[in-house]
Amino acid sequence: MDDGKQQRLARLKDDEKRRSAWQLAMRRMLSQEDAALEDKVAVVKTVQREDKTRVVSAISAMLGQDRKS
């Protein structure tokens, strides 16, 4: 592999590690029972800004479950 490809691969790996760490931090905050409601709302807003498609999909899935009940 040439240097350019290795650098791109290294960058992709670093980005994925950062993304995984960010997602883990968000999950931890949401799962903490003693976390303030304002903090949890801030997490949801942050996730929505970062990944709108995922949020829309989750809301659609929840609405679909409500209709089936």
Q: What percent of the chain has pLDDT over 70?
A: 93
> By percentage, how much of the chain surpasses pLDDT 90?
16
**Helix-, strand-, coil-residue percentages of the chain, each rounded to 5:** 85, 0, 15
* Distance, C-alpha 63 to centroid of its chain: 20
Domain range holding 9?
3-68
**Predicted structure pTM score:** 0.52
* pLDDT for res 39: 87
How many independent structural domains does the chain possess? 1
pLDDT of the chain, 69 residues: tens digit per residue: 688 889 999 999 999 998 888 888 888 888 888 888 888 888 888 888 888 888 888 888 988 876 665
